[in-house]
């Protein structure tokens, strides 16, 4: 009977540890997703700033001009 109680306690402890690990993983994923969203927003903002500075020059034209300058 004592062995069954010990095994039952060990199983309860393992289940508890698994639940705690799962909580940590969920929090880590949430934090990572937030960082990805923040970085994406920064890149979009920077892209808009660069586009404005081009003064209506298309990206294709700008690349062609840069290639011509390197020849």
Q: What is the 3-state secondary structure (H, E, C) of 6-54?
A: HHHHHHHHHHHHHHHHHHHHHHHHHHHHHHHHHHHHHHHHHHHHHHHHC
Sign of CA dihedral 9, 14, 19, 24: positive
Residue-wise pLDDT tens digits, 7-41 = 999 999 999 999 999 999 999 999 999 999 999 99
* Mean residue pLDDT across the chain: 88
DSSP character at residue 68: H
DSSP character at residue 55: T
pLDDT at 66 over 90: no
Predicted TM-score (pTM) of the model is 0.52
Q: What is the pLDDT of residue 25?
A: 96
Q: How far apart are CA 63 and CA 53, in angstroms?
A: 15
């Amino acid at each position: 009977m004592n062995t069954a109680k010990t095994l039952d306690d060990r199983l309860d402890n393992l289940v508890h540890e698994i639940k705690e690990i799962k909580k940590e993983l969920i929090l880590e994923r949430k934090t990572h997703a937030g960082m990805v969203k923040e970085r994406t927003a920064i890149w979009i903002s920077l892209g808009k700033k660069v586009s404005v500075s081009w003064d209506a020059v298309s990206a294709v034209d700008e690349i062609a001009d840069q290639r011509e300058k390197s020849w």
